[in-house]
């Protein structure tokens, strides 16, 4: 492998994501930094999800990214996205840990394909999802006191994505994020994901995951009111509302029978509700309830 071929681009971009990535709601001066962070995350995610690479090859490539991010050495072709993030983090005063944690998560994806229980899955989300929210709070100069609500939101988003893609992840990557103990309690194993529709036992497992997601969203709804940046508060409120909608759709729909996702109307309604909700809260000092109305 040459350094110039470290990346394995999938062609996916921000437009493939369920939730806004560096939208116009964020301050214009910070959007390029968010884009740099996303480009780094996208590159390492593509490495971890490349079915043509073996586990050790993935680990080697991801290690190169992490080293280029954390150590200010000579320029290395193929690692430009890591170097760009290092410069961005230095400029903004954000810790490189926000990138290194993502690398650790994708290294885990390279060698681990099953999760025994909910707590083990939460441990994965602490690396794969929560650093994104922490990065945004750090970038905006927000208090660490917001981490708890931000972590709850990011974990909820991660689990929702796992539920949406449960069959695709299994078939394409032999990766299952559904807790094995919950499947076992229903007399099921991962082969249930070969089904064309969810049998009752799997439906109960999906609903149990969604129960936990909804619990996380209760905490996540506190986030907008904790933020000093009105723009970040609005972005957070919109995302909470989108997550609430997607959770509701996944309860009604079957991810094995077809794609369950958000549409343009969801983004419009959640955007309007989130923006107006934050503005009203700040104008009238009313309790923030982002997402309750969907």
The whole-model pTM stands at 0.91
pLDDT bucket at 255, cuts 50 / 70 / 90 = very high
Given a cut of 70, whether residue 135 has pLDDT beyond it is yes
Where do the structural domains in the chain lie, given as residue ranges? 26-112
Given a cut of 50, whether residue 294 has pLDDT beyond it is no
The reported pLDDT for the residue numbered 10 is 74
Give me the chain's average pLDDT, please.
91
pLDDT per residue as tens digits for the range 157-191: 999 999 999 999 999 999 999 999 999 999 999 99
Mean pLDDT value of segment 32-54: 95
Given a cut of 70, whether residue 214 has pLDDT beyond it is yes
The reported pLDDT for the residue numbered 286 is 56
Nearest to 133 by CA among 150, 108, 116, 152: 150
- ∠ CA 278-282-285, nearest 5°, is 115
pLDDT per residue as tens digits for the range 82-106: 999 999 999 999 999 999 999 999 9
pLDDT bucket at 293, cuts 50 / 70 / 90 = very low
Task: State residue 50 phi and psi, 5-degree precision.
Answer: -80, 110
Measured over the CA atoms of residue 163, residue 46, residue 131 and residue 276, the dihedral's sign is: negative
pLDDT bucket at 65, cuts 50 / 70 / 90 = very high
Residues 6+ apart with CB under 8 A from 288: 221, 222, 224, 225, 237, 277, 278, 281
Nearest to 107 by CA among 61, 143, 43, 162: 61
């Amino acid at each position: 492998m040459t350094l110039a071929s470290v990346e394995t681009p999938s062609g996916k971009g921000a437009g493939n994501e369920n939730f806004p990535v560096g939208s116009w709601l964020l301050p214009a001066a910070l959007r390029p930094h968010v884009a740099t962070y996303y480009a780094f995350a996208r590159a390492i995610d593509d490495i971890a999800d490349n079915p043509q690479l073996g586990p050790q090859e993935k680990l080697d490539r991801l290690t190169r990214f992490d080293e280029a991010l954390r150590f200010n050495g000579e320029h290395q072709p193929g690692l430009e996205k890591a170097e760009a993030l290092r410069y961005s983090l230095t400029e903004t005063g954000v810790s490189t840990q926000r990138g290194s944690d993502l690398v650790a998560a994708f290294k885990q994806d390279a060698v681990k394909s099953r999760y025994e229980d909910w707590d083990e899955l939460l441990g994965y989300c602490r690396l794969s999802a929560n650093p994104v929210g922490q990065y945004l709070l750090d970038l905006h100069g927000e208090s660490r006191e917001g981490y708890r609500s931000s972590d709850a939101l990011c974990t909820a988003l991660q689990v929702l994505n796992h539920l949406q893609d449960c069959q695709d992840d299994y078939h394409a990557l032999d990766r299952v994020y559904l807790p094995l103990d919950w499947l076992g309690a229903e007399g099921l194993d991962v082969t249930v994901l070969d089904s064309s529709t969810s049998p009752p036992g799997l439906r109960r497992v999906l609903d149990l995951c969604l129960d936990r997601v909804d619990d996380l969203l209760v905490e996540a709804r506190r986030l907008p009111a904790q933020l000093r940046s009105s723009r970040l508060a609005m972005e957070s409120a919109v995302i909470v509302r989108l997550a609430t909608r997607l959770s509701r759709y996944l309860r009604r729909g079957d991810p094995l029978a077809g794609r369950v996702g958000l549409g343009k109307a969801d983004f419009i309604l959640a955007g309007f509700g989130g923006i107006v909700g934050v503005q009203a809260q700040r104008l009238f000092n009313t309790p923030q309830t982002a997402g309750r109305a969907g």
